[in-house]
Amino acid sequence: MTKQRIFLFDTTLRDGQQTPGVDFSLEDKIAIAALLDDFGIDYVEGGYPGANPTDTAFFSEKRTTRSAFVAFGMTKRAGVSTSNDPGLAALIASASDAVCFVAKSWDYHVRVALGCTNDENLESIRASIAVAVAAGKEAMLDCEHFFDGYKANPDYALACARAAHEAGARWVVLCDTNGGTQPAEISRIVESVIAAGIPGDRLGIHAHDDTGQAVANSLAAIEAGVRQVQGTLNGIGERCGNANLVSIIPTLMLKEAYASRFETGLSADALADISRLSHAFDELLNRAPDQQAPYVGASAFATKAGIHASALLKEPQTYEHVPPEAVGNARRVMVSDQGGKANFIAELKRRGIAVAKDDPRLDTLIALVKEREASGYAYEGADASFDLLARRTLGRVPDFFTVDSFRCMVERRFDANGQLKTVSEAIVRVTVDGETKLSVAEGHGPVNALDIALRKDLGIFQNEIADMELVDYKVRILNGGTEAITRVLIESHDGAGARWWTVGVSDNIIDASFQALMDSIVYKLIKNRESAGLAAAQ
Amino acid sequence: MTKQRIFLFDTTLRDGQQTPGVDFSLEDKIAIAALLDDFGIDYVEGGYPGANPTDTAFFSEKRTTRSAFVAFGMTKRAGVSTSNDPGLAALIASASDAVCFVAKSWDYHVRVALGCTNDENLESIRASIAVAVAAGKEAMLDCEHFFDGYKANPDYALACARAAHEAGARWVVLCDTNGGTQPAEISRIVESVIAAGIPGDRLGIHAHDDTGQAVANSLAAIEAGVRQVQGTLNGIGERCGNANLVSIIPTLMLKEAYASRFETGLSADALADISRLSHAFDELLNRAPDQQAPYVGASAFATKAGIHASALLKEPQTYEHVPPEAVGNARRVMVSDQGGKANFIAELKRRGIAVAKDDPRLDTLIALVKEREASGYAYEGADASFDLLARRTLGRVPDFFTVDSFRCMVERRFDANGQLKTVSEAIVRVTVDGETKLSVAEGHGPVNALDIALRKDLGIFQNEIADMELVDYKVRILNGGTEAITRVLIESHDGAGARWWTVGVSDNIIDASFQALMDSIVYKLIKNRESAGLAAAQ
């Protein structure tokens, strides 16, 4: 039996932008589009060109290579022609492959919110879809409030869907805008729409999580016949969020009930990258990943000591609903586990660090990582710091230089012209190759000043670090209040295009930053030696 | 038509205890049982008496008045008589109203994990249920791995359920222990069990959230005929958590598809207390409530979008799937650069700030918010800073005090004992009521030192701010690299239980922190005046 293709449509950058507390910059949008494009999502909806400067700039060029790049916007206003609607013009002019229009499909909202007639709204749908098609773009329609509208007036809701379909829309997307529809209602209404003549392979589902069932509603719609599913990364979105693609995709690809009948455009290798995708997105949002997230959470395959833990190790597949490695996750048994050691050896090998299984320093390293993670370090997001910790514990990092002391100062006062001015300065005392050097620098804030001062004069190593740069700096407070511990993550890169992440933890943000900055420099020096083919051990 | 009664079974204290990071003390258990009992849950499963000292102590007396108090434990071991099984004896001796036994119902696990025969396992089920019934307790059986077991060997899974039912179990609970079963499979298997002769009003469902569908699976089982639903507060539980009762209960009681056919033991007044219940539980766990939680999250009825926000205010019931007050929540229209004038006026009104629609200062405020949000401020996450900006623009904030200058210093060096030591110090020069004061403080890091120094001596205002405290501090870097801008969000609270959030933005983290700290203090002073019934304007 040939499998039916399910198309994945991501609206993180458009509907996800409605999440309270989320406000994507242009740089955020570019980075997230690249994540989605690399992962292999079929459609990436980028925003609403013309509605705000960020989205307009984002759509000034095409931001994806594999994924279709989708612009979102309203159908033309009633009473103006398509050539006289500036909103429509902005959509068509954008560097998008496809346009997703949104239109009311609940007659009540047509009257109250749009203030036009039902027929005018249908005409706007037809005309807008036709213009997009004529401009050579793939056209689709989000039928807003479709399910509530269908319950109130099925004929009109259907008429909206049919108008788009007949005008040439590739997809007609049925939206549960208020998020309160139940799975059985979704099934029944989708079946009615298909029975009314719009084929399932032209229909999509857009669900919200207001009753905690966005994933179930999306899957119910697929079972009932739709072939496009809309959602967001980690389920971000307005109110309670949108359908979580990071949950839906593994279920579609791994659960027999779906995998036997459907296929996505993703390979098994892509699926194994989904945990990384999910965590990378949280990193971009600077928020802690949900440890209990289905499939990708750190706890998703974790078992506490108890009835299950020992049996789990005997026969994991009877205790795990899918193999954790299929989604790039890992089993975690929160007692002294046998699996841990093998994972470490594999990870070290991947980094070119060979160690024997019975080397006692390996046990020291495992204990050290556990202890440090318990105190706030996060090595999963700081590969270079993990690398250094491993090499140090195994005795393979030379003392390139030592920082004897440093001092940072931030002063805010009125300058000679009566303007408030803030000055940040750092002084570092460092010993390199037997020679002591004092460096001073000003910066934007104390960490920037410290970074500049640290890298100002490292003597014999100075040439080597000239091409490295701090590109991102993230701070998270681990426990609120006076007992707060600060975790700093720093991303660095160099002229060779390498990127690495380091971590520092302290109750003092400057101290935590200093640890991460030091790790970043030392890692760069190690990396230089490795790539020059020299042994790091001396 | 008489409605079918659905029984609510809470396992927060037993299965919820398996959540990574959760470890209830005896006092926690007593407090949580009281929350559940007051709320009106039918069954409160308290733990596993005999398995650990906390649970044994917890079951030394009855901890509920309205709810049935349930002890959990294994069926008797194979090969011993019920009178010779100390585990069973502890269950029967506990001060519980009911006993919930757990037994394997997947033949594979009977062989591998228990190492006994299929018949021995059935005999353990029968004998254990009979002993509990004879002791005057309500007896029930959790059929572990029921759905996976049914798929592997339906006859044996059914035989386990039937053994419990025939031995007098009030409830036979079908458990999706591994959490991977899909709603359609749950429906089909529940229907088969009922068809095999165990009536639905003797069946329960116990679902896990490993595919994000625990709520949907629970509701699918109810639709298929079961009449008891197990879950936890806020969905805590092993791996991805258990079914979230805080989502299931409102859906059962408010959604026509269920409310027309089913009833719980809860009144509408009890339902309106569910947001408080959910938040009180998070307080006990000392964790921040999930803002996006269905029904009870702070964002569950929040709107950000300009398109929806103005229409929402006209006719909220067409934009909200249930009325927020039905679950003790509230509507929230958030200010952000996407919102329109109507949003601003509504939000200001909610804050007790009256302004006419045609007041030119309102346009100034809107422009200011847009401009500041474009430069990195995020007012939707910083209500107190928005409040102050509005009052300042509308000319209603007195100059309580001015900070003339400050200086922060962080120094790391070797102390007299040769240990590395980091010291942070801040000096603030402030003018209050015509008097200039110099304050100095040390802290954990420069921001903490600055916070302490700022609030050390505010003269005539000092008494007023004595009860305020900084409880959280978040930092986000908005553009990576050297052009980075830092956004600081600070959460404060005071003795009256109020919480407020302020924001600061600068290329210097200390400057950004200073702005947010200043806003926090000034907001507290304004708030004191408002609650004292004085006009803030002077």
Q: How far is CA B291 from the centre of its chain?
A: 8
pLDDT of residue A526: 93
Q: Is the pLDDT of residue B390 over 70?
A: yes
Q: Is B262 helix (H, G, I), strand (E, B) or coil?
A: strand
Query: Least CB-CB distance to B180: which of A52, A299, A322?
Result: A322
Q: Is the pLDDT at B217 greater than 80, yes or no? A: yes
The pLDDT tens digits of the residues spanning B15-52 come to: 998 887 787 888 889 999 999 999 999 999 999 998 88
Q: Is A488 domain-assigned?
A: no
Name which of B321, B369, B413, B442 to mutate to probe chain A: the one with the most chain A Cβ atoms within 10 A of its Cβ: B321
> Which pLDDT score is estimated for B337?
46
Strand (E) or helix (H) holding A139 = strand A138-144
Which of B231, B249, B267 corresponds to the end of one domain? B249
Nearest residue of B to residue A180, measured between CA atoms: B321
A103 vs B255: CA distance, rounded Å:
26
Of B457, B487, B521, which marks where a domain is finished? Answer: B457
Pairwise CA distance, residues B176 & B215, whole Å: 12
State how far the alpha carbon of A34 is from the alpha carbons of B193, B258, B480, B521, in Å: 49, 43, 16, 42
Cα(B81)–Cα(B79) distance, integer angstroms: 7
Nearest CA in chain A to B148: A318
What does the angle CA B491 – CA B370 – CA B405 come to, to the nearest 5 degrees?
A: 55
What is the pLDDT at residue A309? Answer: 54
**Residue at B403 is within a domain:** no
What pLDDT is attached to residue B346? 79
**Interface residue of B18, B229, B239 to substitute, partner A, most A CBs within 10 Å:** B239
Q: Tokens representing A433?
A: 């190759």
Number of domains in chain B: 2
- Comparing alpha-carbon positions, the chain B residue that sits nearest to A236 is B292
Of residues B165 and B379, more confidently modeled: B165
Burial of A286 (0-12, 13-18, 19+ CB in 10 A): middle
**Residues with Cβ within 8 Å of residue A295, at least 6 apart in sequence:** A246, A247, A250, A274, A275, A322, A327, A329, B210, B211
Nearest to A410 among B180, B304, B446 (CB): B446
- Strands A171-175 and A203-206 turn out to be parallel
User: Distance between CA B186 and CA B201 in Å, rounded?
Assistant: 16
CATH number at residue B113: 3.20.20.70
Residue A52 in tokens: 């705000």
Mean pLDDT score, B364-369: 86
pLDDT above 70 as % of chain B:
94
| Domain final residue pick, A218, A249, A280 | A249
Per-residue pLDDT of chain A (538 residues; tens, 9 = 90+): 689 999 999 999 999 998 988 889 898 999 999 999 999 999 999 999 988 889 999 999 999 999 999 999 999 999 899 999 999 999 999 999 999 999 999 999 998 888 899 999 999 999 999 999 999 999 999 999 999 999 999 999 999 999 999 999 999 999 999 999 999 999 999 999 999 999 999 999 999 999 999 999 999 999 999 999 999 999 999 999 999 999 999 999 999 999 999 999 999 999 999 999 999 998 888 777 898 999 999 899 987 644 555 566 667 788 899 999 999 998 876 543 344 576 677 778 878 888 888 889 988 888 888 778 777 787 867 889 999 999 999 887 888 999 999 999 999 988 888 888 899 999 999 999 999 999 999 998 999 999 999 999 999 999 999 999 888 888 877 765 446 788 888 989 898 878 899 999 998 999 999 999 999 999 999 999 887 764 443 4
**Do the domain assignments include residue A356?**
no
Residue B29 covered by a domain: yes
Q: Do B446 and A446 touch (CB under 8 A)?
A: yes
B506 domain residue, yes or no: no
CA distance B396 to A447: 37
- Pick the closest to residue A510 from A438, A421, A448 (CA basis): A448
Residue among A240, A297, A471 whose CB faces B294 most closely: A240
Predicted pLDDT at A96: 97
Q: Which of the four pLDDT bands, split at 50, 70 and 90, describes residue B312? A: low
Give Rg (Cα) of chain B. 29
Report pLDDT for B535: 42
pLDDT of res. B71: 98
Q: DSSP strand E in B245-364: where?
A: 262-263, 302-303, 332-333
Query: Residue A244 carries which DSSP code?
Result: B
User: pLDDT grade, residue B308 (50/70/90)?
Assistant: low
The reply to whether A115 falls in a domain is: yes
What is the SS3 assignment for B12? coil
Q: Is the pLDDT of residue B534 over 70?
A: no
CA B273 vs. chain centroid, Å, equals 14
Kindly report the nearest CA distance between residue B11 and chain A, in angstroms: 17
**Which domain does B445 fall in, by range?**
410-457
pLDDT higher than threshold 60 for residue B305: no
Specify the pLDDT at position B307: 54
Residues from chain B contacting residue A303 (CB–CB below 8 Å)? 238-239
Cβ neighbours of residue B526 closer than 8 Å, sequence gap 6 or more: B387, B388, B391, B397, B536
Cβ neighbours for A335, distance < 8 A, ≥ 6 positions apart: A305, A309
> Residue B533 above 80 pLDDT?
no
- Exposure class string for B442-476: b at 16+ Cβ within 10 A, else e: ebbbbbbbbbbbbbbebeebeebbeebbbebbbbb
**Stronger pLDDT, B353 or A305, i.e. the higher one:** B353
Cα distance between residue A487 and residue B93, in whole Å: 49
Q: Which residues of B fall within a CB distance of 8 Å from A474?
A: 475-477
Give the pLDDT score at B310: 63
B58-112 pLDDT per residue, tens: 999 999 999 999 999 999 999 899 999 999 999 999 999 999 999 999 999 998 8
| Percent residues over pLDDT 90 in chain B | 68
Average pLDDT over residues B1-28: 90
Res. B4: pLDDT tops 90: yes
At B420, is the pLDDT very low, low, confident or very high (cuts 50, 70, 90)?
confident
Contact B12, B36 (CB under 8 A): yes
Query: Which residues in chain B have Cβ-Cβ distances shorter than 8 Å to A314?
Result: 112
Phi, psi of A364 (to 5 degrees): -60, -45
Token reading at B124: 């353990």
Mutant choice from A240, A307, A334 vs B, greatest count of B C-beta within 10 A: A240
Residue B283 has pLDDT above 90, yes or no: no
CB contact under 8 A, A321 and B178: yes
Quick check: pTM over 0.80? no
With respect to residue A259, please indicate whether it lies within any of the assigned structural domains: no
Give the other-Cβ count within 10 Å of B433's Cβ.
10
Three-class SS of residue B4? strand
Helix or strand (DSSP H, E) at B411: strand B401-414
Residue B142 included in any domain: yes
- Listed in sequence order, the DSSP H helices in A69-182 are 86-93, 107-109, 118-134, 146-152, 154-166
